[in-house]
Structure 1
Amino acid sequence: MVAKFLHLEWKQFTRSSYFAKSLGIKILMIFLFLYFAAIAVILGGSFFYIVKKSMPEQEPMLFLSSYLIFWVLADLAIRFFWQQLPVMNIKPLMVLPIKKSKVVHYLLGKSVFSFFNLYPILFFVPLAGVLIFNNYSIFDVLIWLLSIVFISLSLNFINFLINKNNTYFYSLIAFIALSIAANHFQLINFETISSRLFYPLFSQQWTLAIPILLLVAVYMLNYNFVFKQFSLDGVVSKKSEAVETSELNFLDKFGAVAPFLKNDIRMIWRNVRPKQVLLTAVFFLFYGLFFFTQDTFADKEWVTVFAGIFVTGGFLITFGAYVPSWDSEYYKLMMSQNIPYKQYLESKWLLICLGCVIASILSIPYIYFGIKIYAIILAGGVFNIGLNSFITLYGGALNRIPIQLNVKAKAFENTQGFNLTQFLIGLPKMLFPILVFFIPYYFLGFKAGLIGLAGTGVLGILFKQQLMQFIEKTYQKGKYKTIAAFSEKQ
């Protein structure tokens, strides 16, 4: 039965219109996986010797056990934002003589085959080999290694629970927040607790039963939760909710593009995915703190341009990159109406520019780091409006992967609406402004670089009509391919 499930999913993947793009993303992910896998193996193989050399009096396994609790917390956080949970189209299977338990076990089993479950093994297996080589008990090391593997798998299923059930999510967040607060006020000590929890896994063999029982418990919780949701009525029926309405009359002054602007704002307000992306754009406002608080970048203004682009371009990067995928669920209807592409694109451009303007205003507190810093941020905002906005819209013409507006997914890991072409189109948005600033900055100084950056944005605004015409022709050329691709569900 598992082989049949895998065969069906392979057919769905290879027969889709987005096969080549998804394949490109997977190839890129393979290279990233190999890179991080190599780092994990090297760190695992050298950890024992690093501790022995830097802290000769410290027992390496006791030292490691003191910090494993931080690995658990970091692992959960990374999984929550990045791990893509397994999905499966179960509607066709519900009317077939297949036991629900088999489908649920298969779905949960899919989540085991993830990089997030593999990377601890890539670190801890070389470490275990080094321990055995240094005359540690083989049996003790293997018991400890199995315990770590079971804990990692338990974290996998805990992440499944907190993603699918708000009760588990808020309970875990509250527990972690209280623990951090208690540690901060020295009511508890994380390192002491960690060593008492994890070192017995190495020194006392019977403790292997604890990770095994934990894994069985969280797996059964997941199984019961998914099994209860596995019903045809639950899938087919739709929950009706009261929808808040707003006329948004203040947008009428934008003329013909006002209906499109209203539609986009309502879409963001009412749907899950756009809300998540908007929240992500807000976090971009704090990106500059990484650069502006570091002494390393204090005398390198050209490097801070990168931060300026991100601070003011959060909405452009997150929301703008998925144009026109946001409208994929009703794109065919829109294109069947007498709607000029120019008005549609102008509305998207105005919305992106509005996001850049609001971000520039909200970034005023960066004046605390100096007028020069805020001048770079403002120049980056002008560049985003004048050039990056058009590059973003042009990239949208090549984006033909639909987005489901009300599917809850992590904004950092979901690849709906993303493809390798989008990634390549996005590179100039990051690198070109640094080049535009650096060349005059290197030869003529800071003010010349600032004028070059802002001036390029102003030029883009002056040639807006020509740029929009070029982008409109690109959209028109691929119109029917886009409609066909959006009609296919991933």
Structure 2
Amino acid sequence: MIQKFISLQWKEFLRSASFQKGVAIKVLLFIAAAYVGGMAIVTGAGLYLGIKKMIPGVDPMLIVNSFIIFWFMADLLLRYFMQQMPVMNIKPLMIIPIKQKNIIHFLLGKSVISFFNLLPLLVAIPYCITALINGNHSPLNVILWLLSIIIITLSINFLNMLVNKSNTVFYIVATVLVSSIACQYFGVFNIAQYGGMVFYGLYMNPFYIVVPIAILALLYYANFNYLNNRFYLDSAISKKVKEVNASDLSWLDRFGSMATFLKNDVRMIWRNKRPRQVVIMSFLFLFYGVIFFTQKVYNDMPAMLAFASIFITAGFLFSFGQLVPSWDSEHYKMMMSQNIPYRQYLESKWYLMVLAVLVSFILSTPYIYFGWDKYALIAAGASFNIGINTFVTLFGGALNRVPIKLNEKAKAFSNTNGFNPTQLLIALPKLLLPVGLFWLPYYLADYNLNAGIITLAVSGLLGLVFKDFFLTKIEKVYQDGKYKTIAAFDEK
């Protein structure tokens, strides 16, 4: 039966109309995973000898076990934001004689096949091999310790599934993580010390492996029980009736004929999970400057400061804007059948991105604390985002024909729904062009910071001057691909 499920999943992948795009995305992800995996292997191979050289006379296993708890905490956080949960169309399977438990076991087993579960192995296995070759360690202890690490990694995988499904589990785990980090930071409780005792105990007493095995079994059962109790056709096909709260958006009427589009976008963001999550996460871009402005090393690298300044006001532009028109994929055909000028539709998206950049610029005012030169860079970056990057983003949207489910509980950082490899190419000028426009006059003017800032700001103003020209060209691209986009959005 498991073989049959695998066959169905493979056929679903091959027969998808977005098969070529799916392959391209997976090739890019494979390249990135291969690079990260190679770095993990090198790190694991050199970790034992590196610790032994830096801290002579101390067993590297003791040091590793003291800090491995932070690895697992970071692993859980990374999984929550980036790991995709296993998905399978179960509706057709619910009305044919297939045991319910077999489907659930397949879904849970599918989650194990993940790069997040492979990555710890790529570090731990080379580390253990190096430890056995260069240290005086019992092979039995090392091997069972490695198995314990694997089992704990799988436990985190199933814990992450519960965190994503249950708000109660999410709040409990979040409280424990935040409290643990706070206690470690303020010196209330030394997590590294006590965590090291636990993991070093798994190494010294390898038969304690029964404890991680019991935890893994418990988490697996909890996931199985959760899915089993909700595996009903009625809940799968029934529609929930929600009370919609009307909002006063009359302040958008000043935009004239585009007000209707703007109001629809605001309501879409407010009422649906996916766009709301993306907008919330785009707020984090405001803190990008803290990474660069607080480090003295970047004071001698003004190009990097310009790079950071672009990001501070571009959160909404990069996260929400790049998925135009995929946000409207569920009703795109209906929109295109109306007597609506395409220009108004595109211009409304442009105004929405401009408004978001201006709001981000206002919220970035506290960066004045780091100096007026830094704030001037942010202002120049905002000008470039409004005058250039908004048009580049809209142009990239014309090549984006992957539909988005608005109420899908997706990961803001890693979900590829609505993404295609062309977006990566379109992102290059949005990131590299402003850095080049800043650095070239800065260099030619004998390292004059003001020259770079003025050039960056003026480039954005010039983009505004040629706004009608850019929108006309972009409109033509959308019109030429209109029916291809409608056909692609029709795919379910």
**Pairwise mapping of residues 182-261 of structure 1 onto structure 2 (< 5 A)?**
182-261=183-262
- What amino acid maps onto 1:48 in structure 2? Y
- What amino acid maps onto 2:48 in structure 1? F
Aligned to 2:386: 385
Aligned to 1:7: 7
1:17, distance to aligned residue in structure 2 (A):
2.0
Whole-angstrom distance in 1 between the partners of 2:35 and 2:187: 39
1:65, distance to aligned residue in structure 2 (A):
0.8
- Which secondary structure does the structure 1 equivalent of 2:330 belong to? coil
Aligned to 1:289: 290
**Pairwise mapping of residues 118-157 of structure 1 onto structure 2 (< 5 A)?**
118-133=118-133, 134-157=135-158
1:179, distance to aligned residue in structure 2 (A):
2.3
Higher deviation after alignment, 123-132 or 308-317: 123-132
1:171, distance to aligned residue in structure 2 (A):
0.6
Aligned to 1:449: 452
Aligned to 2:165: 164
Aligned to 2:305: 304
**Pairwise mapping of residues 422-441 of structure 1 onto structure 2 (< 5 A)?**
422-441=423-442
- Among 467, 470, 479, the alignment partner of 1:467 is 470
Higher deviation after alignment, 254-263 or 20-29: 20-29
Whole-angstrom distance in 1 between the partners of 2:303 and 2:175: 42
Does residue 480 of structure 1 match 2:488? no
Q: What per-residue deviation string (whole Å, max 9, x for no partner) do you get for residues 185-217 of structure 1?
A: 433211211112101111112201011101100
When normalised by structure 1's length, the TM-score is 0.98
When normalised by structure 2's length, the TM-score is 0.98
1:488, distance to aligned residue in structure 2 (A):
0.8
- What amino acid maps onto 1:50 in structure 2? G
Q: What per-residue deviation string (whole Å, max 9, x for no partner) do you get for residues 423-456 of structure 1?
A: 1101110000011111111112222212211111
- What amino acid maps onto 1:213 in structure 2? A
Aligned to 1:97: 97
Whole-angstrom distance in 1 between the partners of 2:342 and 2:423: 21
1:178, distance to aligned residue in structure 2 (A):
2.3
1:42, distance to aligned residue in structure 2 (A):
1.0
Does residue 19 of structure 1 match 2:23? no
Whole-angstrom distance in 1 between the partners of 2:22 and 2:329: 18
Whole-angstrom distance in 2 between the partners of 1:175 and 1:236: 36
Whole-angstrom distance in 2 between the partners of 1:289 and 1:179: 24
Whole-angstrom distance in 2 between the partners of 1:206 and 1:297: 50
Does residue 88 of structure 1 match 2:88? yes
**Pairwise mapping of residues 354-369 of structure 1 onto structure 2 (< 5 A)?**
354-369=355-370
Whole-angstrom distance in 2 between the partners of 1:298 and 1:340: 48
Whole-angstrom distance in 2 between the partners of 1:135 and 1:396: 59
**Pairwise mapping of residues 44-59 of structure 1 onto structure 2 (< 5 A)?**
44-59=44-59
Whole-angstrom distance in 2 between the partners of 1:433 and 1:49: 43
1:302, distance to aligned residue in structure 2 (A):
2.3
Whole-angstrom distance in 1 between the partners of 2:185 and 2:280: 28
Aligned to 1:174: 175
1:184, distance to aligned residue in structure 2 (A):
3.6
Whole-angstrom distance in 1 between the partners of 2:188 and 2:457: 52
Whole-angstrom distance in 1 between the partners of 2:310 and 2:12: 39
Residue ranges of structure 2 left out of the alignment (5+ in a row): none
Q: What per-residue deviation string (whole Å, max 9, x for no partner) do you get for residues 349-386 of structure 1?
A: 00000000011111111111111110110011010000
Whole-angstrom distance in 1 between the partners of 2:385 and 2:183: 44
Q: What per-residue deviation string (whole Å, max 9, x for no partner) do you get for residues 59-105 of structure 1?
A: 11111111111111111011111111111111111111111100000
Whole-angstrom distance in 2 between the partners of 1:417 and 1:280: 17
- What amino acid maps onto 1:151 in structure 2? I
- What amino acid maps onto 1:422 in structure 2? Q
Whole-angstrom distance in 2 between the partners of 1:162 and 1:11: 30
- What amino acid maps onto 1:262 in structure 2? K
Whole-angstrom distance in 1 between the partners of 2:19 and 2:306: 37
Q: What per-residue deviation string (whole Å, max 9, x for no partner) do you get for residues 96-143 of structure 1?
A: 111110000000100101010001111111111122223421111111
- Which secondary structure does the structure 1 equivalent of 2:62 belong to? helix
Q: What per-residue deviation string (whole Å, max 9, x for no partner) do you get for residues 378-409 of structure 1?
A: 01101000010000000000000011111111
Fraction of identical pairs, as percent: 52
Whole-angstrom distance in 1 between the partners of 2:187 and 2:443: 50
Residue ranges of structure 1 left out of the alignment (5+ in a row): none
- Which secondary structure does the structure 2 equivalent of 1:67 belong to? helix
Whole-angstrom distance in 2 between the partners of 1:181 and 1:109: 35
- Which secondary structure does the structure 1 equivalent of 2:300 belong to? coil
Aligned to 2:348: 347
- What amino acid maps onto 1:198 in structure 2? F
Aligned to 1:108: 108
1:227, distance to aligned residue in structure 2 (A):
1.1
- Which secondary structure does the structure 2 equivalent of 1:66 belong to? helix
Aligned to 1:408: 409
Whole-angstrom distance in 2 between the partners of 1:10 and 1:106: 14
- Which secondary structure does the structure 2 equivalent of 1:394 belong to? helix
